[in-house]
Amino acid sequence: MIKIVSGHSNAGGSTVVFNTLVNLFNKNNIPACFYGPYKWKGINCRFETMSFFKPTKNDIIIYHFLKFKLRVPSKKLILSCHETDLYKVKEVNPGHYDQVVYVSDYQKTWQGVDGIVIPNPIREFEKKSNDGTKSCAAIIGSLDKNKRVHLSIKKALDDGFKDIRLYGNITDFQYFKTHIQPYLSDIVTYRGVSDDISKVYKNVSHVYHSPLKETFNLIKYECSAAGVIYVGNEGNDPKPEIWDNDKIVEAWRKILC
């Protein structure tokens, strides 16, 4: 059994990725389960809350956004890092992992600790045709200073959109109050967290995204898969790698054995 355990399992990019990865593993005869403190409604893979996480010396464990006082009992212990400033690998005891997996070369270089890069899997969507007509714009992701949602709102307004929808967790209430609330109106509306992002992509023509720092631009690649026009930053990695699911699974197989 592959046990993927994360300190964050609410709505967010890492949760989406681990949910997708567990489903990929199980589909490819690699028994896996996702463990976290909370089951977000968007999780549809095999999942247990943290109270059921009972590591043994025979387990292969992939952990994320956690720091342990002692090494976790395991056959192999893999640190999966999706962050930069929020989780610095240099501050983790090297004895508490056998391997570090990053999501991009940019992130690996930023962290400054050796590891391998396996890009995130992209969820599959029913791809719609899109002729570029401006019907509705969405801004997807956490509402905080790093995502710079206010810049996305301003850009969408400048581009003439009359329906701009915000989706995501409010992770910085002061930022929300100062930079986003003044924009809220009949045109700019906050829709909360979407538990089924495919419905969001089906109902918008464009997505705006203005992050200050992005280790892997999941929103951009999901837009491509869903047939939605992406307007925003290219991301911090000048040459990002996107792999198909088979290549991702095989790369993980090599380090799980």
* 110-136 confidence digits (pLDDT tens): 999 999 999 999 999 999 999 989 999
pLDDT category, 239, cuts 50, 70, 90?
confident
Query: Which domain range does residue 192 map to?
Result: 137-232
pLDDT at 142: 95
Question: Are the C-beta atoms of 78 and 18 separated by less than 8 Å?
Answer: no
Q: Does residue 154 sit in the same domain as residue 50?
A: no
Q: Check pLDDT > 90 for residue 257.
A: no
Residue 131 lies in a domain: no
> Smallest Cα–Cα separation from 85: which of 238, 235, 212, 219?
212
Q: How far apart are CA 50 and CA 79, in angstroms?
A: 17
Q: Does residue 26 sit in the same domain as residue 91?
A: yes
pLDDT at 240: 83
Residue 19 lies in a domain: yes
DSSP strand E in the chain: where?
2-6, 32-36, 47-49, 60-64, 76-80, 99-102, 116-117, 137-140, 164-167, 188-190, 206-209, 229-232
Q: Check pLDDT > 80 for residue 3.
A: yes
Q: For 145-200, what is each residue's pLDDT tens digit? A: 999 999 999 999 999 999 999 999 999 999 999 999 999 999 999 999 999 999 99
Q: Does residue 69 sit in the same domain as residue 168?
A: no
Q: Does residue 177 sit in the same domain as residue 248?
A: no
Question: How many domains are contained in the chain?
Answer: 2
Q: Does residue 32 sit in the same domain as residue 103?
A: yes
Residue 51 belongs to a domain with what CATH number? 3.40.50.2000
pLDDT at 235: 81
Q: Does residue 16 sit in the same domain as residue 101?
A: yes
Q: Check pLDDT > 90 for residue 105.
A: yes
Q: Does residue 79 sit in the same domain as residue 177?
A: no
